[in-house]
Amino acid sequence: MNQINETNDFSTGKLFPMILKYSIPAAISLLITAIYNIVDRIFVGNFNGTSALAGLSICFPLSYMMMAFGLTCSAGGSSLFSLFAGKGEQKNMNRSFGNALILVVIFEILLSVLLLIFADPILKIFGVTETAYEYALEYYKIVALGCLFQGLTQVFCDFVRVSGKPVWGMCVTGIGAVTNIILDAVFVAVLDWGVTGAAWATVIGQILSALFGAYLVFKGYTKVEIERKTFSFDFELSRKIVSCGFAFWIAQMAMGLISLVYNSQLGKYGSDTAISVYAVVASIMTFVIMPASGISQGIQPIIGNNFGAKNYRRVMATLYQASAFSVGVTCIIWLIVMFFPEAILMAFGATDEMLELGVTGLRTNFCITPILGFVMLVTTFFQSIAKPVPSIVITFLRQILFLIPFIYIFSMLWGINGIFMAQPVSDALALILSIVLVYREQKHLYKISPAGTGNHLTIFS
């Protein structure tokens, strides 16, 4: 029996305080996850130079690949977990966790094996330069060993969070991040191990996070009841988990693919300096995306439970209130980027050449970023109600079909500055699509609403 298994009143509690309760720890948790790569870059950029920083930037798609499979299993499994919780189906809740855990172990081990076997050709695909090759290979081989622990951390964190323990979920990733920062300082700054030290700091942090997450789940700190049947593989349930989490897989793999395209085009129109500028842009974009992602993860159990209970009016109210909150938070980060780009670049050990290119690059890339606060919530909204197709469509169009052609076209028209213009144009088109899809879904939910909910919406119910 669970040690902590209180019932969270998703259906009747005050909505905005509940959104805050779940979103803030989730956002902090994701920001902590982002710190893994960013701290590595800050230390390596300041202590080992531009080529070493470029080597880490070349490996950036690797972290996206690792997170892609972990998020597919954690987000898909926890979404179904919340829907089953809304229906009061404990056995299916347990099986959602068990199958998500089985899937993440299989996927991440296979990924590690493939990454290590094909290290050299993959780095060439990543667009490694001759001067950055040695640093990139050194970092790549060690970080590839951490795939399993990264995936396990994501699964444990998500199931702790949707069980009504968002702060504990935050602590799962927090332990690893604090470890990573401390070890980066020791390995890179003190012992002068360079990119090798940064890589081992990351992997050791991931291991500690996974161990702490496992302790919480298996010691009864969640709503998962661990028994033998919990880990009985169910093909149909696993298919649904992958389906619900597939939008996250596309998003993460697309970001990895986009990194390849960016590195290729920046290398063509610039040099290691241009690639290093993109490393900073990508790192700061992570800080913009993670709060919005955290808010979207925070509302997942609220939407899932209420949708499972057919409380559709509250489902839509959750989306709209969370969207206002997300856009507001994103605006704060956006203002910092717009007004203090030089300070941001200097934190990464920027040279004069990096400053000259990076200030314009940052401001161009982030010019309409606040709209992401809504777009990202929409993708999670559809995933949370077990309708993954709209999420997949939005993500695929925004991250692949729109963005990648724009990078090539705009670079031919405006050079390096054109490369940084591609993202805001793609985001604007994704916003239009998101509004249309949400409007259609809202009309559908009003039609099937149980008697008494009406065809109106009280946003602050």
Q: Would you give the distance in Å from CA 16 to the centre of its chain? A: 23
Contacting residues for 232 by C-beta, under 8 A, at least 6 apart: 95, 98
Q: Find the angle CA(235)-CA(243)-CA(205) to the nearest 5 degrees.
A: 90
Distance in angstroms (rounded) separating the CA atoms of residues 164 and 100: 18
Q: 0.75 exceeded by the pTM? A: no
Q: Which phi and psi angles does 8 have, rounded to 5°?
A: -90, 125
Residue 436 one-letter amino acid: V
Residue 153 is predicted with a pLDDT of 93
Distance in angstroms (rounded) separating the CA atoms of residues 380 and 373: 11
Task: Identify whether the C-beta of residue 170 lies closer than 8 Å to the C-beta of residue 32.
Answer: yes
Task: Identify whether the C-beta of residue 254 lies closer than 8 Å to the C-beta of residue 402.
Answer: no
Residue 409 is predicted with a pLDDT of 92
- For residue 420, which of 341, 339, 340 has the smallest C-alpha distance? 341
- For residue 123, which of 187, 115, 271, 98 has the smallest C-alpha distance? 115
Distance in angstroms (rounded) separating the CA atoms of residues 177 and 52: 22
Residue 9 is predicted with a pLDDT of 67
Residue 241, both tokens: 């988990």
Residue 348 one-letter amino acid: F
Residue 214 is predicted with a pLDDT of 94
User: pLDDT by residue for the chain (461 residues), tens digit each?
Assistant: 343 333 346 777 788 888 888 888 877 877 776 666 677 777 887 787 777 877 777 777 787 788 888 888 998 888 888 888 878 888 988 999 999 999 999 999 999 999 999 988 888 877 777 788 888 888 899 999 999 999 999 999 989 988 888 889 889 988 988 898 899 889 988 888 888 898 899 899 999 999 999 999 998 888 888 888 888 898 999 998 998 888 778 877 777 677 778 777 877 777 667 777 777 777 777 777 777 888 887 888 888 888 888 888 888 999 999 999 988 888 888 898 889 888 888 877 667 777 777 788 888 888 888 888 899 899 889 988 888 889 889 988 888 889 889 989 998 888 888 888 898 999 999 999 999 999 999 988 888 766 544 444 444 34
Write a three-state SS string for the chain.
CCCCCCCCCCCCCCHHHHHHHHHHHHHHHHHHHHHHHHHHHHHHHHHHCHHHHHHHHHCHHHHHHHHHHHHHHHHHHHHHHHHHHHHCCHHHHHHHHHHHHHHHHHHHHHHHHHHHHCHHHHHHHHCCCCCCHHHHHHHHHHHHHHHHHHHHHHHHHHHHHHCCCHHHHHHHHHHHHHHHHHHHHHHHHHCCCHHHHHHHHHHHHHHHHHHHHHHHHHCCCCCCCCCHHHHCCCHHHHHHHHHHHHHHHHHHHHHHHHHHHHHHHHHHHCCHHHHHHHHHHHHHHHHHHHHHHHHHHHHHHHHHHHHHCCCHHHHHHHHHHHHHHHHHHHHHHHHHHHHCHHHHHHHCCCCHHHHHHHHHHHHHHCCCHHHHHHHHHHHHHHHHCCCHHHHHHHHHHHHHHHHHHHHHHHHHHHHHHHHHHHHHHHHHHHHHHHHHHHHHHHHHHHHHCCCCCCCCCCCCC
Residue 448's CB is within 10 A of a number of other CB atoms, namely 9
